[in-house]
Chains A and B, each alone.
Chain A
Amino acid sequence: MQSRQQIAESWGWMSWRQAALLLPVIVISGVFLLAPLLENLVRSLGLPGESGLAHYRSFFTKPQYLTALSNTLAFSLAAAVLALVIALPACTFVAHRGGRWLRSFIGVLIVAMAISGLIRTVSWQIVLGNGGLLDAILMATGVIRQPLGLLYTPWAVLLGMVQIILPAVALALINGLGKVDRGLIAAARSLGASPFQVLMTAYLPQIRPTLMLAVFLGFSLGTGLFLTPTLLGGPDDVVLGKVMLGDMVFDFENGAALGATSGVVMTAVVGAAGLVCLALGGRGFRPPRRRGAAA
């Protein structure tokens, strides 16, 4: 006769004691993460009597939502790619240099991350504002005569977003670049591969998963940053998060359905981006290694 635990394990399920240990996190994740996402889905589909996709139809036909969605995607994608392109040379340098350079750079990234995104946004307002710090410095040194007027433009939003997501992207890169097998590159070189061939056949396949993971991390962080576009951008730079806040908190009666629909669309888009990045990243040809429990 099988014990209850054996039965449980044969089903890939857990024993009672394990369940007791995990119950709190299951309840918290269920109530505060899964239930809200489900609530969005249910509300976006409307009442049983209504036509199921009415809210989606109005989401995709109202210019206000379409603009907000395309702004969100454009800003997040641009910021993620820029952050990757800017961070990659520095991360490659410190990852190969190792030692003190690596530790100090990681320290800088962690300190930068510790200052909250909101406060870094506020500091960009101070730097870029009309007659702000940057204008004052450039005018005092005679580089410009008129204020630049950078604040409340898409460029200010992009600058702020890149700076805010860059530390996370860089940490992901450093983590992956540190695992590159230099032996493979030396081997390719000694076998007579040109630098370009080495890059394409020995280096890129090793770091491709890392690159895609970093871009996805940057993108998903970017979609969540709605305070930065709101504070640094102009009236045309509205992102979806801001619209959702207005729909839910300030106009629940009329806005809730479209707010929930926006939530579903946003989750779906980020999830799809994740799958695309996973597919593009592939597994690389790192030697298979038993991965720790945290992986």
Chain B
Amino acid sequence: MNRRPARGWDGLRATAGAAYVLCLAIFLLLPALAIFPASIGESEFLEFPPSGLTLHWFQDVLADQDWLDSAAFSFGLALATAVLATFLAVLVGIAQLRYHRLPKGLLAVLLAPLWVPHVAVATGLFSLCLSWGWVGRAWVLVLANTMLALPLSVSLVLAAFSVFEGNLWTAAAVLGARPRTIVRTILLPLSATALLSSLVLAFQSAWDETVLALFIGPVDTPPLSVRIYAYVSQNLTPAVAAVAAMVAVLSIVTVTVLGLARKAPGRRS
């Protein structure tokens, strides 16, 4: 790429471009930060500027069993989804690697949650669950969230495994390694980054999921996102802002850690 010091029109264009990108970054990130000042005001209602600063909304929320139960439920849900989606994606990856192709249409179905409206799936699933007595069951929500996370997990794993297409597997097999050994000692370690990404992204997807949970999730202890929605659709208070702030911090920390892990030395790609 051309890296001469830019002059005249080119320089102006580069400056304008840089300024525009910065403005866009601010537009994407800054509004989300509004939950922080909103969560430390003393008043019971949102007010700007806050009349006094306090952290007691955070204490309140962290002492409230309902919020804690929802957080625990969401955490379990997201963890189970992450592990299951990644495990299933690895199975799909192995099937592709061993048999060089997947049955016609399978990939189209697996990737469909990327475009099929989730609310339409939720509608159908709700009426099915109603007739099967499944509404509010945690495992149903786990499997449904796994379905939503599969497009990401499967794409990541297939992309990582495509490196092994053919030669590496054959070489290991020629040297006498059994399939299980190949998977354990070559395939999984070499695609560790992709597996980690799959775990984290599937976790995030289930942790944030609201639509399916609104339809078929448990009512007494709803996932955190549904409880936040239930509160803010009534009244937006500093306490809810405090919850939102903690959830947002957790999300940002997770993706940052993932980003650093991907940059760590020893990665391929």
Looking at chain A's contact residues, the main secondary structure is: helix
B52 → A minimal CB distance (Å): 16
Once the chains bind, are B103 and A115 in contact (CB under 8 Å)?
no
Q: Contact mask B207-225 → A, CB, 8 Å, 1/0?
A: 1101100110000000001
**Cβ proximity bits A135-178 to B, threshold 8 Å, 1 near / 0 not:** 11100100000000000000000000001001100000000000
Check B20 against A90 for contact (C-beta < 8 Å): yes
Note all chain A residues with C-beta closer than 8 A to B233. Answer: 230-231
Q: Which of B56-64, B65-73, B141-149, B170-178 contacts A (4 or more CB under 8 A)?
A: B141-149
Cβ-defined contact, A293 with B165, below 8 A: yes
| Pairwise interchain contact B162-A115, C-beta atoms closer than 8 A | no
Minimum CB–CB distance for A238 against chain B, Å:
13
Assess whether B196 is interfacial by the CB under 8 Å rule: no
| Residues on A with beta carbons closer than 8 Å to the beta carbon of B144 | 32
Residues of B within 8 A of A89 (CB): 17, 20
Q: Assuming A25-B110, A131-B48, is B123 touching A244 (CB within 8 A)?
A: yes
Contact present for A22 and B102 (CB under 8 Å)? yes
Quick check: is B236 within 8 A (CB to CB) of the other chain? yes
Q: In the complex, what residues of B have CB within 8 A of residue A217's CB?
A: 114-115
* CB atoms of A22 and B103 under 8 A apart: yes
Assess whether A117 is in contact with B208, with CB atoms less than 8 Å apart. yes
From A107, A245, A274, B119 is in contact (CB under 8 Å) with A245
Q: A32-B125, A126-B236 are in contact. Are A120 and B31 (CB under 8 A)?
A: yes
Q: Is A249 a contact partner of B126 (Cβ separation < 8 A)?
A: yes
Contact check, A224 vs B124: say whether CB atoms are below 8 A apart. no
Which chain B positions have C-beta within 8 A of A126? 34-35, 38, 46, 236, 241
B92 at the interface (CB under 8 A from A): yes
Q: Determine if A24 is an interface residue (Cβ-Cβ < 8 Å).
A: yes
- Whether the Cβ atoms of B99 and A118 lie closer than 8 Å is no
With known contacts A14-B99, A231-B232, A260-B124, A37–B208 Cβ distance under 8 A = no
Q: Judging by beta carbons under 8 Å apart, are B48 and A132 in contact?
A: yes
Q: Is A98 an interface residue (CB 8 A)?
A: yes
Residues of A within 8 A of B96 (CB): 293
Confirm or deny: A210 has a beta carbon within 8 angstroms of a beta carbon on chain B: no
Would you give the 0/1 interface string for A62-98, flagging 1 where the beta carbon is closer than 8 Å to chain B?
0000000000000000000000001101100110111
Task: Write out, one digit per residue, whether chain B residues 183-226 have a CB within 8 A of any chain A CB (1) or not (0).
Answer: 00000000000000000000010011011001100000000010
> Is the CB of B168 closer than 8 A to any CB of chain A?
no
CB contact between B229 and one of A90, A163, A227 (< 8 Å): that residue: A227
Q: How far is the CA of A260 from the CA of B13 in the complex (A)?
A: 52
Q: Taking CB as reference atom, which chain B residue is nearest A21? A: B95
A132 touching B215 by the CB < 8 A rule? no
Nearest-Cβ distance from residue A218 to partner chain B, whole angstroms = 11
B80 located at the interface, meaning its Cβ lies under 8 Å from any Cβ of chain A in the complex: no
Q: Is the CB of B146 within 8 A of A28?
A: yes
Of A127, A216, A230, chain B has the most CB atoms within 10 Å of the CB of A127
At the interface, yes or no: A203 with Cβ under 8 Å from chain B? no
With both beta carbons as reference points, the residue of chain B lying nearest to A38 in the complex is identified as B124
6 intermolecular pairs with C-beta atoms under 8 Å apart: A36-B125, A93-B18, A111-B29, A123-B33, A133-B37, A244-B120
Contact surface of A with B, Cβ cutoff 8 Å: 12-15, 17-18, 21-22, 24-26, 28-29, 31-40, 43, 86-87, 89-90, 93-94, 96-98, 101, 105, 107-112, 114-120, 122-127, 129, 131-133, 135-137, 140, 163, 166-167, 216-217, 220, 223-224, 226-227, 230-231, 240-241, 244-245, 248-249, 252, 256, 259-260, 262-264, 266-267, 270-271, 274, 292-294
Known: A166-B24, A294-B155. 15 other contacts (CB 8 A): A21-B94, A22-B91, A26-B106, A37-B124, A90-B21, A108-B28, A112-B29, A115-B252, A117-B210, A122-B232, A123-B31, A123-B35, A123-B244, A241-B117, A293-B159
Interfacial residues, chain B to chain A (CB-CB below 8 A): 1, 17-18, 20-21, 24-25, 27-29, 31-35, 37-38, 46-49, 88, 91-92, 94-96, 98-99, 102-104, 106, 109-110, 112-128, 130, 143-144, 146-147, 150, 154-155, 158-159, 161-162, 165, 204, 207-208, 210-211, 214-215, 225, 228-229, 232-233, 236, 240-241, 244, 247-248, 251-252, 254-256, 259
4 nearest A-B pairs in the assembled complex, by CB-CB distance: A36-B124, A136-B48, A116-B208, A263-B120
